[in-house]
Structure 1
């Protein structure tokens, strides 16, 4: 822990503002539930910015999938999400990429990792919202899972993904997962995918969310 506050590191503040702008201007598609989620994310980010809270940097960490990060960022510069991509690049060398699961399914450890930007583990420390990035290698299948009491959204920054085989999400599109919604993600076989995510919910759930995958049911 350091004595740094958010205002001491403008690049992190700019990145949070880019999150705010995404959740301000992306369409809700006419969905009241998505619109309410977007508002909740914006309001939480606003509180974080106003609080000028502490910064808690851990040692930067890589995972095998981060070998695809440069390609994902390069592709993102060509999309409508380019301002967000530039803000990510400004802090990329400080990111802590991790798995977050006690047991990662075989093969996934080379195709997935996430980096928290704001939340209980920092670097922007907060119990109001969790914001971060998730990186998938080409051809990744992210197993089915859900989040108790947490509303989650992904915004595609580069590449393309599908959730539950019910649509393709390209840069600038949002996936919304209400609490307890089981979801599984598949990734294009030709390009990596970089997504921003946001979780909102009660502070005690944000602080103690258990990261587990569902287990396939045995037949017979």
Structure 2
């Protein structure tokens, strides 16, 4: 049975919430077995993510989700999950689906860029601010509507990876990423994402950085001048 927001006790811990535990196990396996394409930087990032996640989970962290919140783009979530269950990362998608009633979908921008409010939102799964409180890594999911263009941005002090769970996206018009593929963005790397017109795209993401940077960044981006 999926736990609902009203069932959550104030002193709840990860071991009390098996759905969250199963989800983090799937994330660990993702960062263990997805190929690195021969890149030592990507292989090192994958190891750093899973070790940070392992340490965080081993502490039986507090579960403190924000009140569930939807955004216009979450009207596409069912389709994105349906597509993901048909792909090679179906176990991750099924585990994610178990916690979707608890997710708080956000924009993150202080001012949402024009045209983006209906096409994008993200939900954190763990990090310094929850919903599972782990201070070494932020894990989450981001949902894009069909035809969305996610503006160019960079993350200060944050190494980021995306894993495509369903749909397909392009970053900086330099490749197409389908389910099971990873995008790696080092700190300060300017990147822009585009989504196909036919289906939504659902991506998992991981952020690694100093604890101060992780605590300060809540998907508020540093833009570079043209």
TM-score range, shorter chain: over 0.9
Please say if residues 153 and 191 of structure 2, whose CA atoms lie closer than 8 Å, have aligned partners that are also in contact: yes
Please say if residues 154 and 224 of structure 2, whose CA atoms lie closer than 8 Å, have aligned partners that are also in contact: no
Counterpart of 1:58 in structure 2 is 66
Counterpart of 2:223 in structure 1 is 214
Counterpart of 1:110 in structure 2 is 118
The 5 A counterparts of 1:40-189 are 40-189=48-197
1:20-67: CA deviations, max 9, x gaps? 000000000000000000000000110111010111121100000000
CA distance in 1, matches of 2:221, 2:52: 25
CA distance in 1, matches of 2:107, 2:175: 26
Counterpart of 1:15 in structure 2 is 23
Normalising by structure 2, report the TM-score. 0.94
Counterpart of 2:206 in structure 1 is 198
| Structure 1: 5+ residue stretches without partners | none
Q: Give 1:214 shift.
A: 2.2
Q: Give 1:216 shift.
A: 5.4
CA distance in 1, matches of 2:187, 2:140: 18
| Structure 2: 5+ residue stretches without partners | 1-8
CA RMSD of aligned residues (A): 1.1
Q: Give 1:121 shift.
A: 2.0
1:27 aligns with 2:35: yes
Normalising by structure 1, report the TM-score. 0.96
